[in-house]
Structure 1
């Protein structure tokens, strides 16, 4: 006989193991909260923006046309690579006396630019908020100076330097998100274990279990006899014996 599980059986299993499911979910959330609040190092982020434009000689000053802007946009892709190159980051490390290498520092720097925009954003992440500000500003300043030599152009201006905030908030870890993800994982794990325990439980509790196990139809049932009726019957028997 092919074994089938109805939707009602699924809900019964979940209801039966509800304490296990809730317990695992709560435990996962608590563990994620403890790790996020007490063990993970807060990471702060600071950003600075630079503007890439087309420098013209004073006698050639005129409005930029679409070709000039397109040229600048093409340069941005090259600049994004140069900013994170050892030629720039090695001097940033030297200026700030950082105990790291260009290869390690580049992991903490993100260079982005909006589509069809001449503005490039340099974002730096670091466990210390003040150091993130210093690295972002120094990277922009070093790049602005070194690009004159590397590409023989002077078309980079610092648009918005990074500023140290009084009470900065870390960007990582996202404690609430970590706890929410842990809650979902705990819930899924609890439901999975609940169904696994139900599947491994071979005890016989109802008539259908007997039919499935023996592959035979049930001919009759013995109704349960309430305990209070046993007491009443014994009392009546004893009373009758006394009367006799």
Structure 2
């Protein structure tokens, strides 16, 4: 049994060795194509983040009226604030100030999510233009705070993390994509090599005579140098 396994593994390595040119060419070709797309064709996407915290008014804080029920109430209220941030009214106000996109376009780029079990809202915008993403999210935060204070004047909303212009794009992940392409190229080329080997029934070695014909080998003609 162990001998059969050893022979099978040896045969696999022999096939890979015989088809190494095909494997190398296809693997490198996949890596090169993906590298060209990632470095020269696909535009980088930048992400800008910000966060706000929602709580009591200053005078209520001074009276130390914070309790468990208040915290739970504000954690639930954060979801309502998230709806305000995602509203079309806010998007229209931001678009009017940025002079780009449509409200629907901004809403598709804007992601507002409450942090679980907190009074914090996370904002993020993704765009091909890092400076526009920064400018848009800054206006979104300002408009959100202004609108929220009109709707809930008794609550406070403070900017916890300000938007910052990103230095690096979040995608494409060039090296990761190239590594995946090389790996997939190897798998594809190895698969092609084994298919070719399986379909090829020509006699190449004395072992093939015994394997395919079941005949004994009487003599072998040496290779001419």
Fold-level match, TM-score > 0.5?
Answer: yes
Cα distance change on mapping 1:18 and 1:124 into 2, 3 Å: same
Counterparts of residues 182-221 of structure 1 (less than 5 Å): 182-214=181-213, 217-221=214-218
Structure 2 partner of 1:116? 117
Alpha-carbon separation, structure 1, partners of 2:40 and 2:222: 58
Query: Does structure 2 conserve the Cα–Cα contact (< 8 Å) formed by 1:110 and 1:124?
Result: yes
TM-superposed deviation, 1:45: 1.6
Structure 2 unaligned regions, length at least 5: none
Name the count of aligned residue pairs.
220
| Residue 38 (structure 2) aligned to one of 24, 36, 39 | 36
Structure 1 partner of 2:220? 223
TM-superposed deviation, 1:169: 1.6
Query: Does structure 2 conserve the Cα–Cα contact (< 8 Å) formed by 1:49 and 1:121?
Result: yes
Structure 1 unaligned regions, length at least 5: 229-244
TM-superposed deviation, 1:178: 1.4
Alpha-carbon separation, structure 1, partners of 2:35 and 2:108: 27
Cα RMSD of the aligned pairs, angstroms, is 2.6
Q: SS state of the match for residue 15, structure 2? A: helix
Are 1:142 and 2:139 counterparts? no
TM-superposed deviation, 1:93: 0.7
Q: Once structures 1 and 2 are overlaid, which stretch shifts more, 52-61 or 132-141?
A: 52-61
Alpha-carbon separation, structure 1, partners of 2:82 and 2:66: 23
Cα distance change on mapping 1:116 and 1:25 into 2, 3 Å: same
TM-superposed deviation, 1:60: 7.6
Structure 2 partner of 1:241? none
Cα distance change on mapping 1:67 and 1:12 into 2, 3 Å: same
Q: Once structures 1 and 2 are overlaid, which stretch shifts more, 173-182 or 111-120?
A: 111-120
Structure 2 partner of 1:45? 47
Alpha-carbon separation, structure 2, partners of 1:47 and 1:135: 11
Cα distance change on mapping 1:227 and 1:62 into 2, 3 Å: closer
Structure 2 partner of 1:162? 163
Alpha-carbon separation, structure 1, partners of 2:22 and 2:68: 65
| Residue 76 (structure 1) aligned to one of 64, 75, 78 | 78
TM-superposed deviation, 1:123: 1.1
Structure 2 partner of 1:55? 57
Q: SS state of the match for residue 121, structure 1? A: strand
Query: Does structure 2 conserve the Cα–Cα contact (< 8 Å) formed by 1:21 and 1:191?
Result: yes
Cα distance change on mapping 1:109 and 1:227 into 2, 3 Å: closer
Q: TM-score, normalised by structure 2?
A: 0.85
Alpha-carbon separation, structure 2, partners of 1:197 and 1:52: 65
Of the two, which has the highest radius of gyration?
1
Deviation string, structure 1 residues 71-91 (Cα, Å, up to 9, x no partner) = 111112222233122121121
Structure 2 partner of 1:27? 29
Q: TM-score, normalised by structure 1?
A: 0.79
